[in-house]
Structure 1
Amino acid sequence: MEITIEPWKKLIIHEVIEYSFDDWMTQIAFSSKTAGGAIPTINWANGIVFQSFNFPDTNIIVEEKLKGVLHWSSVMFAIKEKYEKQLIKDNATINLIDVSVNEIFKKLADRLKEHSKQKSQN
């Protein structure tokens, strides 16, 4: 039996939306409260908090994936240099998960830092 590992070759992000960290956490806290109080979880890698949104798996998207190309419809992000497991914002809890072990997410964080128009925040 042959086992092959083929890493992704390319990630294409079709829209990048940057927020200030405080503004985005306020928005997430408000959305959490209005949605019934579920605890939202946001990805953190190398100084960036982010959420990504995939396209649905249509035939074209699956064909691209089989070629090693990921297409994300959008990524929302903010600068957050210091990792914390949990944040409390406006009486809402927001969990951060450290996804820095994922090579794609580490490279994404570096690229988003380059793209950022915000100053570093802790």
Structure 2
Amino acid sequence: MEYSLEIVIEPWKKLIIHEVIEYNFDDWITQIAFSSKTAGGGIPTINWANGIVFQSFNFPDTNGIVDEKLKGVLHWSSVMFAIKEKFEKQIIKDNATINLIDVSVNEVFHGLAEKLRTHSRYAKSKADQ
């Protein structure tokens, strides 16, 4: 008996972010370092893609959220981000270590970084370059 299985890759259709918070990079890293030390010294990790560092926060998987996901729609409660053109694996600030992970190969994160850059008040405009 021959086994036949259809495999379908279906990318996300839409990402809806309900709140976007931008920081100055140095200020945000200082805040993350302080929070890390007060929380017991774990090493926080933030995402980097195409010159943007960010953290995203998902809604819990309620029935409504799962229904939306099955339709190809992601809902994030918020995204915090800052401009950081150059990728570094680690940043040490105020005796705290912060890891960065390059997630540029992920299509959702790549597109998100480009969209966030267009909304940034800290990004250099084309006229400034």
Q: TM bucket by the smaller chain?
A: over 0.9
Q: Which residue of 2 aligns with 1:23?
A: 27
The whole-number CA distance in structure 1 between the counterparts of 2:122 and 2:6 is 47
Once the two structures are TM-superposed, the CA of residue 119 in structure 1 deviates from its matched residue by 3.6
**Amino acid corresponding to residue 45 of structure 1 in structure 2:** A
Q: Does 1:101 align with 2:105?
A: yes
User: How many correspondences in the alignment?
Assistant: 120
How does 1:72-87 map onto structure 2 within 5 Å?
72-87=76-91
Q: Which residue of 1 aligns with 2:52?
A: 48
Q: Where do 4+ consecutive residues of structure 1 move more than 6 Å?
A: none
Q: Which runs of 5+ in 2 are unaligned?
A: 125-129
Q: Does 1:5 align with 2:9?
A: yes
**Amino acid corresponding to residue 80 of structure 1 in structure 2:** K
Q: TM-score, normalised by structure 1?
A: 0.97
Q: Which residue of 1 aligns with 2:127?
A: none
Larger radius of gyration: 2
**Amino acid corresponding to residue 48 of structure 1 in structure 2:** I
**Amino acid corresponding to residue 72 of structure 1 in structure 2:** W
Q: Which runs of 5+ in 1 are unaligned?
A: none
The whole-number CA distance in structure 2 between the counterparts of 1:29 and 1:54 is 22
Alignment equivalent of 1:116, drawn from 94, 109, 120:
120
The whole-number CA distance in structure 2 between the counterparts of 1:68 and 1:90 is 41
**Amino acid corresponding to residue 107 of structure 2 in structure 1:** E
The whole-number CA distance in structure 2 between the counterparts of 1:80 and 1:36 is 26
Q: TM-score, normalised by structure 2?
A: 0.92
Give SS of 1:50's match: strand
Give SS of 1:38's match: coil
The whole-number CA distance in structure 2 between the counterparts of 1:106 and 1:23 is 24
The whole-number CA distance in structure 1 between the counterparts of 2:12 and 2:72 is 5
Considering only aligned residues, what root-mean-square deviation do their CA atoms show, in Å? 0.7
The whole-number CA distance in structure 2 between the counterparts of 1:40 and 1:61 is 27
The whole-number CA distance in structure 2 between the counterparts of 1:68 and 1:35 is 35
